[in-house]
Chain A
Amino acid sequence: MSEVTRNMKVLVPLPQRRVYELRGPKKVRDILKELGMPAESVLVIRGNDLLTPDVTVPDDAEIEVRPAISGG
């Protein structure tokens, strides 16, 4: 029987919409480090909630890392 593993899904909408699958559980600050995204430039969103860097995201969660910097 093969082992079923579930990874967390991390949606990054910009600059191109991409979904990363990461092995959890993992703290928000470590997720950002892994994706190379500076905490000061993004929000981490789960549902209608915002996650602070110390929150541990479980294996099966779906989160969004939304850039908060715009130009012009």
Chain B
Amino acid sequence: MKCKKCGRPAVMALPRHNAAFCREHYLEYFDGQVEKAVRENRMFARNDRILVAVSGGKDSLALWDVLLRTGYRADGLYIDLGIDGYAERSKEKAVGFAREREAAIRVVSVVEECGLGIRELARRARRAACSACGLYKRHLFNREAVQGGYDVVATGHNLDDEAATLLGNLLNWNTGYLARQAPVLPAAPPNLVKKVKPLYRLTEREIAAYAVLRGIDYIVEECPMAAGARSILYKNLLNQLEEESPGAKARFFFGFLEKGRPAFAGEEKDVALRACACCGQPTTAEICSHCRMLSRAGTGPPPR
């Protein structure tokens, strides 16, 4: 295959764009997709301070890499979830990435905060592991962004993540979630920080390719707690569709954003946020779901 732009040997074929690119033009394509996502959704401005949630995996490190390389003010946030072995290995990737680029990284340990790893916390709170993990991480993203004075939190969610979430929400007709699923979740008083997904136009495979071509040392192994996750089933099903019909994932998700989501706008409940009486983070109830989870697990309240 030849690069569509220059005719040199291609390193990456993109059937959904009916194109293939050499290294140089693939990276140009990648940057262009991120830039388009940021610009069209007004995710952040040049002088905004961005907190990038990094796991040590390909998506978040690729996101941090592209933001740093294109001149944004982006610091990292790594959350040590206390998952045996995996946490140490993924932390080394995130911290090593920051060290190589002389970038700032904040590290927060769930075990140091509440005395339990996420697996045990989820078990004691009688929650699914991925659900407890997501809840704890969202809490920390916001808290750390507020404490650090960041304008926006950026996560590495990609097109496959978004298409799989959309499929799950449609299969279960979660109309409230369908009303809210978007590349930008706006800030809200009293202290909810804006969250953005600058990689939502790119597939996981495209992001992995970027990481390999840029020489990013990311953790290839899967989180041991994600084995059997429903999201992986949905992603595999969507990829089967993609093989038969290139562009299916993009049409599914981008079409939803353009035509589907507005139809669910009425489902969005207009509820006022207030500060959690326990931790001070935004919630619709008196005590936020993160603090309720800790309470059910029998651990103390998190630091304010």
Interface size class, chain A? 20 to 34
The residues of B that contact A38 with a CB separation of less than 8 Å are: 236, 239-240, 243
B-side interface residues, number (CB < 8 Å): 38
The answer to whether A68 and B222 touch (CB under 8 A), given A38-B239, A48-B215, A52-B12, is: no
A66 touches B (CB below 8 Å): yes
B98 shortest CB reach to chain A, Å: 21
User: Quick one: closest A residue to B231, CB to CB?
Assistant: A71
Q: Is the interface of B mostly helix, strand, loop or mixed?
A: helix
Q: Decide: A53 and B13 in contact? CB cutoff 8 A.
A: yes
Stretch in B166-174, B205-213, B292-300 with 4+ CB within 8 Å of A: B205-213
Asked if B133 is at the interface of the complex by the 8 Å CB criterion, the answer is: yes
Smallest Cβ distance from B118 to chain A, in angstroms?
11
A48 to B130, CA, bound (A): 33
| Chain A residues within an 8 Å CB radius of B227 | 15, 71
Also in contact, A69 and B232, with CB within 8 A (given A38-B243, A43-B205, A52-B12): yes
A58 CB, nearest partner CB in chain B, Å: 16
Least CB separation from B226: chain A residue: A71
What does the 1/0 interface line of A24-60 toward B look like (CB < 8 Å)? Answer: 0000000000000011111101001111111000000
Docked-complex contact A71 and B11, CB < 8 angstroms = no
Instruction: Say if the beta carbon of B143 comes within 8 Å of chain A.
Output: no
Say yes or no: A68 contacts B11, CB within 8 Å: no
Contact A15 B243 (CB under 8 A): no
A14 near B209 with CB under 8 A, answer: no
* Residue in contact with B222 in the complex, picked from A14, A48, A52, CB distance below 8 Å: A14
Take A43-B208, A50-B213, A52-B12 as given contacts and tell me if A70 and B243 are in contact as well, using a CB distance cutoff of 8 Å. Answer: no
9 tightest Cβ-Cβ pairs between the two chains A and B: A71-B226, A71-B229, A68-B208, A71-B232, A68-B205, A40-B239, A50-B11, A72-B226, A52-B1
